[in-house]
Amino acid sequence: MKVRVFVTPKKGVLDPQGVVIETGLRQLGFAGADQVRVGKVIDLVVHTDDRDDASARVHAMCKTFLTNPVIEDYTFTLDEAP
Amino acid sequence: MKVRVFVTPKKGVLDPQGVVIETGLRQLGFAGADQVRVGKVIDLVVHTDDRDDASARVHAMCKTFLTNPVIEDYTFTLDEAP
């Protein structure tokens, strides 16, 4: 099962990459774009056909390894297509 | 309009972060998870109500600034909800 995990900085946590991108966009003339936040997207394949099993495993991965739960939130999507 | 841009390494491009995460998952006992690829997710707000206008502006941002088109692909979603 294909899994796509989104790891984003929690609301209120300073996001230097977002600030840099926002400044860069403005300097390049892209007006009217703001509230930029930068996170990670992690694509992986989990070898199971059971959505609940996959979901439980991805939650465990996220909580123990893929994210820093103090400063980051995560969500993920499961895609059963091969 | 809320925009979520996904920037991922092109197929065939070496992805060291993905390799590290895959190795780490295995060492932590998460078997049956592989093909890990790591990219960026960039959330931003584009101030327009016109989907075509927003789409054109985000394509321009991606091509000129947000991605390296030699080694990265991008996709994005538009969300009109406030």
Angle B56-B61-B65 from CA coordinates, rounded to 5°:
160
In 3-state terms, what secondary structure has residue A4?
A: strand
When divided into structural domains, chain B yields a total of 1
How high is the pLDDT of residue B26? 95
pLDDT digits over A14-65, tens only?
A: 999 999 999 999 999 998 999 999 999 999 999 999 999 999 999 999 999 9
Report which of B31, B14, B77 is spatially closest to residue A61, judged by C-alpha positions. B31
Q: A46: which chain B residues are within 8 Å (Cβ-Cβ)? A: 32-33
CATH number at residue B30: 3.30.1280.10
Range of the structural domain that residue B62 is part of: 2-79
Q: B34: which chain A residues are within 8 Å (Cβ-Cβ)? A: 44-45, 47
The alpha carbon of B66 is separated from its chain's Cα centroid by a whole number of angstroms, namely: 10
CB contact under 8 A, B41 and A6: yes
3-state helix, strand, coil in chain A (%, to 5): 35, 35, 30
